[in-house]
Structure 1
């Protein structure tokens, strides 16, 4: 593998020991590594410099987003190393698997119609909390052609240049949105059946899970606002669905004040949970819990959609929704 053709962009803030593991995993594979730091107050910048990676302190006078951090990273790399043909993006709380870059580069080299290749991201401690296990399931996406990728992926440099990378103002959902634009340009995305990264979600509280779901709703709404009127109606359904479920719940509650008998219609919620559970191959207690939380997630997602609407009406800057 010609390592000079691959660059690595790491983004993070206050990742501590997780960043050290991330740096060590990438530097063993590739010397063209840049770490973009977003105002860390721990030793992240020092640790990155000590590792030998190039370090950029993101300009925090502008609204922060992971999208802007990633753009800053890959644009720096192609100026410093114009020979780079592929960029591996990785979050600072992840660790790159040993064989990933070779497998991913080989795929893109042999399949020129593909812009992006991603693999299996796994949670480092999936059994630590129920929420970590939810994340691990979320990362277990179908193998084959895909509509989008997550934050960890190997991407052709020319494709990043073609669509000008991520949209800086996307404070959530920036990766699928860029994938959407690439697909409009007839590029394809592939999910390899290979181990890619280890991730440490470290979600230990319900409130963290709630904020993460809230961020998803915001991402759906922002994506629908940007591309919802186009042929694919991108993310329109995902943005409307939580509003419908949440709206139905509160409408029933309000109407039941006048006719308590209407409370029986709230049974649509447990019935929907049962319906989802019966469709799952996993009939364990965990499978039932995942369906329950999927239904509950509609409420924070709806709040995220509403938050996007309010910020748009007031012409406010979009701000990141942190759950760690």
Structure 2
């Protein structure tokens, strides 16, 4: 499949913030993607820290040669992206100002940090600001397209944003950073705790990062959706009580569409009448409803994804009942 070039980003003058900005990058075996990421951050005046999670491709050596501070995680301990981010933030324990958090497979737009820092300077009530994260090769696969669409969230005040964001170090310290134990969904969970402290999260109408998902196989997409279901269930377990109801609706939808309805159909057909299978028409009707809003192919994957998400929900609760924790679930 021919890959369409990434959408060009118009260059425009932006105010330069006087506030010092550092950056924390996390990654493992990102290769040249990591080089592009670190290069895009080197013009900043603050410290640039790379947290490596057991790379075997020379990432540590490359980052060191580029003059970047490197933190190598102890991989004998359970790994999570949240733990990696916290390790980078610990290096900034005495720093002031802002920090750009970014994954090692992303390249930061040259205009982003000055514009985002200027926004935080002007809005002291905002703890976190993010912009538009784009997939570098959205036409490479339907799965990359789904990622790109997922990141196109509304402009303005938000409940959450992704892992790429500019943040106040002061605010992060007020909530003790990320929750190390979460294998996914660590950002929305921390944003919720920030909002409890009175801070705000804001999405700007500005280009922020280019991401390289490299998601070309169905199995990758399925595991990513499964991980989302796990995050929904754990988030609901942590903060599902009113008034937050954190990810309760998402968990409920995954269970209803991915397990409850199929179970009702099967039991109805076995115990009552084969005609009960006609209730299965609710799925094509739901597909039609979603298609009107997002198009047929995205609607199909949205509906199919509920089965993967339900698998993640069941996995979370199964592990919890057994008193065990799941290791990180990756899709690359």
Distance 1:147 1:4, change over 3 A: closer
Alignment partner of 1:209 out of 221, 232, 242: 221
Distance 1:100 1:251, change over 3 A: same
Q: Deviations over 1:171-216 (max 9, x none)?
A: 1000000000111111100000000000001100000000000000
Deviation at 1:230, TM superposition (A): 3.9
Say yes or no: does 1:322 pair with 2:327.
no
- Aligned partner of 1:25 in structure 2 is 40
* Counterparts of residues 123-138 of structure 1 (less than 5 Å): 123-138=135-150
- Aligned partner of 2:7 in structure 1 is none
Distance 1:30 1:256, change over 3 A: farther
- Aligned partner of 1:244 in structure 2 is 256
- Aligned partner of 1:269 in structure 2 is 283
- Mapped partners of 1:92, 1:231: distance in 2: 35
Deviation at 1:119, TM superposition (A): 0.2
- Mapped partners of 2:242, 2:327: distance in 1: 25
- Mapped partners of 2:302, 2:290: distance in 1: 9
Deviation at 1:229, TM superposition (A): 1.9
Say yes or no: does 1:11 pair with 2:23.
no
Alignment partner of 2:177 out of 165, 182, 186: 165
Alignment partner of 1:297 out of 305, 310, 313: 305
- Mapped partners of 1:197, 1:78: distance in 2: 26
Deviation at 1:62, TM superposition (A): 1.6
- Mapped partners of 2:207, 2:93: distance in 1: 27
Structure 1 moving runs of 4+ over 6 Å: none
Distance 1:309 1:139, change over 3 A: same
Secondary structure of the equivalent of 2:189? helix
CA contact (8 A) 2:23 2:41 kept: yes
- Aligned partner of 2:79 in structure 1 is 64
- Aligned partner of 1:153 in structure 2 is 165
Contiguous gaps of at least 5 residues in structure 1: none
CA contact (8 A) 1:3 1:30 kept: no
Report the aligned-residue RMSD: 1.3
Contiguous gaps of at least 5 residues in structure 2: 1-15
Deviation at 1:70, TM superposition (A): 0.3
Say yes or no: does 1:41 pair with 2:56.
yes
Alignment partner of 1:307 out of 295, 310, 315: 315
Q: Deviations over 1:32-57 (max 9, x none)?
A: 10000001111111111111110000
Deviation at 1:4, TM superposition (A): 7.0
Deviation at 1:239, TM superposition (A): 1.1
Secondary structure of the equivalent of 1:95? strand
- Mapped partners of 1:76, 1:313: distance in 2: 36
Q: Deviations over 1:57-88 (max 9, x none)?
A: 01222211000100110111233xx2x31010
- Mapped partners of 1:213, 1:30: distance in 2: 38
Distance 1:265 1:210, change over 3 A: same
- Mapped partners of 1:321, 1:99: distance in 2: 33
Secondary structure of the equivalent of 1:78? coil
TM superposition score normalised by structure 2: 0.92
- Mapped partners of 2:158, 2:45: distance in 1: 27
Distance 1:220 1:294, change over 3 A: same
The count of corresponding residues between Structure 1 and Structure 2 is: 315
Deviation at 1:30, TM superposition (A): 4.0
Secondary structure of the equivalent of 1:127? helix
Deviation at 1:2, TM superposition (A): 5.8
Deviation at 1:257, TM superposition (A): 3.3
